[in-house]
Amino acid sequence: MKFSEKLQNLRKTEKISQEDLANMLDVSRQAVSKWESGTTYPEMDKLINLSKIFKCSLDDLTNDDVKDININQKKKNNVNNLIDEILDLIKKTIKMFKIMNYKEITTCILTMILVGLVLLLLNIPFNYLNHLGYDIFINFGLKISNILSSIWNFFLGILYFIIFIVVFVYIYKIKYLDVYEDKQLIIEEEKNDNKNNVKEQRVKKESSVFFNILGIITMWIIKIFIFFISLPILLTLLCVIALFIIVFILLFKGVFYFGVLLGLLSLGILLLWLIALMFYFLFNKKINIKLSFLIFIISIIVFGISLGIFSLEIANTSYINNVFNEKVKVNKEELEFLPNMIIEDVFEYIIDEELTDKVLIEFTYYDNYIKPYIEFNIINNFYINRIDNEQLSSNKKIIKLIINDLKKKQIHNYNLLYDYKIKVYTSYKNIETLKENYVKFKKIEDTIRKQEEKESYEKQLNNCYQEQDKYQKENDKNNIKIEQLKDENEELQEKLKEYKNKIRDLIE
């Protein structure tokens, strides 16, 4: 960088006008303008004074191999400058509003209100993170979860507030204050008859201390936010990989669903691509834009193709609402009919007039998966059955059955494997008696249930009355204490008055 460019950059960074710099060096403003345009070169004593003013070495100022001079290094470490920058921001805002007309002021205010409303939408993901944290903390117990949730909620609230302020102020600066400052700089240089030179040599201003800090805070907040978002994406990727391995293993067992395999593969690549982007952003790595865009497009196209293939495969897969390949067993049990007998869960009543004093109960079920059996107990003066259903099959057997069906492009209703049907054979009169007994039993059960609920509510009501009486007694005790304190206070006031009178008499 040439000396003329360095001088102009340093002067504008320090916000010193040509006239002020000329007064510091005891030269004319035209001399400073000629130095910055490259027409003339300052003398040695002026160069020494320039290095002192801008707090840099003479070599950095005159050596063309030095591209940039960082004079703000000390300022960046000075926290007090942060307050100065905030005050400077307010000062620039006031000056800007003074030169703006009513239309520009109204536009500025409405624009920043709209920006604020948009930033309020950021509260949606923060609310989600708040609820997610509560769902995690509740596993540690109610008391601990309340403490952790309060801390988590406070942290998210501070984080959201910082993001809101930083982004809002940053947008306001780059959209209005920077534009205003550039206009003022051009106007100032035009007044000094150096318009063409300014347009050719005006360099980009370095960010102030305040906005450098804002930029750093904003970047770290965004990185923390992206890190938390990447965790569920990583978990989803692990699930996709596990499903892909399962589907790939099923290929060797004869279950061929190419659409599912291709879809999981493309989805895994897409999630991996997304995690890689987050990784590059978090660790400031350089991203190959072309390769990244190519991977994204290919993943989306492959995923769309997999959806089409899977739709065709599903269309060729039939759903059957039974399990016809499994062994069905029929078990019959004959019992003596009793007038107060009840048989629950009856699938069908079949009239058999030969069974006037008997009841034949027939079970139909899948013998390889369950084993139902009936027991009778006296409940509320009724002889009522209870059916216990012992499950015999394992998950391995069900999985094997599903795999065999998928080979044939079929899906059955596997819930029926654990179902059973009860048929009752007896005379018509006995069937009517069984039905009437069932209705009476349900009414009795309903009455008992309501009575239990009533007793429960009465118990809770009594507890409330007891608590109320307890609080009333405490209140009465407190009222008595208050009255006693009032009486004691009145006595003390009387004694105080008496002592004052005695003291007054002694003085007189």
Phi then psi for 334, rounded to 5 degrees?
A: -100, 130
Q: Considering only CA atoms, which of 229, 279, 224 is closest in space to residue 125?
A: 229
Confidence of residue 196 (pLDDT cuts 50, 70, 90): very low
The answer to whether 98 touches 139, Cβ cutoff 8 Å, is no
Q: Spell out the domain ranges in the chain.
A: 1-71, 76-206, 230-316, 328-444
Rounded distance between C-alpha atoms, residue 415 and residue 395, angstroms: 13
Q: Residues 69-82: what's their mean pLDDT?
A: 46
Q: Considering only CA atoms, which of 452, 426, 404, 193 is closest in space to residue 332?
A: 426
Share of the chain above pLDDT 90, in %: 10
Q: Residues 182-186: what's their mean pLDDT?
A: 61
> Looking at the predicted structure, is the pLDDT value of residue 302 above 70?
yes
pLDDT tens for 453-508 read 999 888 888 888 888 888 888 888 888 888 888 888 888 888 778 877 777 777 76
User: Residue 340 is which amino acid?
Assistant: N
Instruction: Return the minimum-mean-pLDDT range out of 145-154, 234-243, 245-254, 298-307.
Output: 145-154
**pLDDT attached to residue 266:** 92
**pLDDT attached to residue 181:** 66
Mean pLDDT of the chain: 79
> Looking at the predicted structure, is the pLDDT value of residue 293 above 50?
yes
Q: Residues 146-163: what's their mean pLDDT?
A: 79
Rounded distance between C-alpha atoms, residue 502 and residue 187, angstroms: 86
Q: Which CATH architecture has domain 1-71?
A: Orthogonal Bundle (1.10)
pLDDT tens for 201-258 read 443 344 445 555 655 666 677 778 778 878 888 999 999 999 999 988 888 888 888 8
**pLDDT attached to residue 3:** 80
> Looking at the predicted structure, is the pLDDT value of residue 440 above 50?
yes
**pLDDT attached to residue 148:** 76
**pLDDT attached to residue 73:** 42
**pLDDT attached to residue 237:** 92
**pLDDT attached to residue 81:** 54
Instruction: Return the minimum-mean-pLDDT range out of 159-168, 292-301, 420-429.
Output: 159-168
Query: Counting Cβ atoms within 10 Å, is residue 106 exposed (0-12), middle (13-18) or buried (19+)?
Result: exposed
**pLDDT attached to residue 203:** 37
Confidence of residue 84 (pLDDT cuts 50, 70, 90): low
The answer to whether 7 touches 50, Cβ cutoff 8 Å, is yes
Confidence of residue 46 (pLDDT cuts 50, 70, 90): confident
Instruction: Return the minimum-mean-pLDDT range out of 74-88, 187-201, 370-384.
Output: 187-201
> Looking at the predicted structure, is the pLDDT value of residue 385 above 90?
no
Estimate to the nearest angstrom the gap between the alpha carbon of 148 and the chain centroid: 16
**pLDDT attached to residue 413:** 84
**pLDDT attached to residue 359:** 92
What's 342-364 look like in SS3? ECCCCCEEEECCCCCCEEEEEEE
Rounded distance between C-alpha atoms, residue 292 and residue 130, angstroms: 32
> Crossing angle for the helix pair 123-137 and 142-172, nearest 10 degrees?
160
**pLDDT attached to residue 238:** 93
Confidence of residue 264 (pLDDT cuts 50, 70, 90): very high
**pLDDT attached to residue 205:** 42
Q: Token digits for 456?
A: 């429960």
For the ranges 13-17, 169-173, 244-248, the one whose mean pLDDT is highest = 244-248
